[in-house]
Amino acid sequence: TQTVSQSDAHVTVFEGDSVELRCNYSYGGSIYLSWYIQHHGRGLQFLLKYYSGNPVVQGVNGFKAEFSKSDSSFHLRKASVHWSDSAVYFCAVSARDMGYKLTFGTGTSLLVDP
Amino acid sequence: DAAVTQKPRYLIKMKGQEAEMKCIPEKGHTAVFWYQQKQSKELKFLIYFQNQQPLDQIDMVKERFSAVCPSSSLCSLGIRTCEAEDSALYLCSSSPGDWGAEQYFGPGTRLTVL
């Protein structure tokens, strides 16, 4: 069974602050890790993904994530947030031997105060 | 704007009624997924189609839902007998079909069962 945990349900920062959204996974096989963003009332949008290679992956809008096998983590970071980054962020896992579906974490709601 | 189209955007049904929602995947995508989202969090995988064939689905879908992709440009998800617990946002996504490929999500159909 693959699991994804996002320990912070809510994160509030000020515009211009840096932010880290945490994601930990549990699975021993080959996996893709990804992050998606959901603005209020809308569908999810892809941010970035990791499978192998450089553990730091760059995504859209200045987001990046770092994979750590030792910590079983895939944390998302942004150096300077904008009010428009306010949204719910989902970490997801796709395991080769569990089909192509995404297994999502419970999401982290990011609020950026202007 | 979402490349994946979902209709209707809102659906209200009485308990015991049938419900149907449709999804038009992005052109050229061979994989289609349906997810259920409650309380704006907790995304749950429902069913996955590859080249219009269902390849993976959860037990709840087998028991109470009907899902088909009669063509590469149209899929539908139905609930045979709506229950209050079915109230949720139903998200459709599509992808090129390769394992790990990013999924493109539609805006969802919000179902309310009274």
Residues A41-97: tens digit of each pLDDT:
888 999 999 999 999 999 999 999 999 999 999 999 999 999 999 999 999 999 888
What distance in Å separates residue B45's CA from the closest CA in chain A?
7
Evaluate whether B45 touches B112 at the Cβ level (below 8 Å): no
Residue A42, chain B, CB below 8 Å: the answer is yes
Spatial neighbors of A57 by CB under 8 A, at least 6 apart, are A48, A49, A50, A64, A65, A66, A67
Closest residue on chain A to B32 (Cα) = A101
Nearest CA-CA distance, residue B80 and chain A, Å: 24
- Say yes or no for a CB contact (<8 Å) between B50 and A100: yes
Beta carbons of A45 and B105 less than 8 Å apart: yes
The pLDDT of residue B39: 82
Question: Tokens 């955007």 belong to which residue?
Answer: B9
B2·A43 Cβ contact <8 A: yes
Element (H, E) at B36: strand B31-38
Residues of chain A contacting residue B42, judged by C-beta atoms under 8 Å apart: 104, 106-107
- The pLDDT, as a whole number, for residue B2 is 53
Task: Sort out which chain A residues have CB atoms less than 8 A from B24's CB and list them.
Answer: none
Q: In this structure, are residues A38 and A57 in contact, taking their beta carbons and an 8 Å threshold?
A: no
Name the DSSP letter for residue A40.
T
A31, A3 contact by CB (below 8 A): no
Residues of A numbered 59-98 whose beta carbons fall under 8 angstroms of chain B's beta carbons: which are they?
88, 90, 94, 96
Provide the 8-state DSSP code for B106. Answer: -
Is residue A101 within 8 Å of residue A33, measured between CB atoms? no
Of A4, A15, A27, nearest to A76 (Cα)? Answer: A4
Check A46 against B100: CB less than 8 A apart.
no
Note the pLDDT of residue A106: 94
Q: What does the block give as tokens for B77?
A: 């998800």
Using one digit for the tens of pLDDT, what is the confidence trace for B54-107? Answer: 999 999 999 999 999 998 899 999 999 999 999 999 999 999 988 888 999 999
Token code pair at residue B51: 């080249």
pLDDT, mean of residues A20-34: 92
Q: Which of the residues A32, A60, A102, A106 would you substitute to probe the B interface, choosing the one with the greatest number of B C-beta atoms within 10 Å?
A: A102
From first CA to last CA, the distance across chain A in angstroms is 41
Note the pLDDT of residue A100. Answer: 87
Nearest chain B residue (CA) to A44: B105
Enclosing H/E stretch for B60: helix B59-64
Across the interface, of B4, B45, B102, the residue whose CB is closest to A46 is: B102
- Distance of alpha carbon A86 from alpha carbon A17, whole angstroms: 13
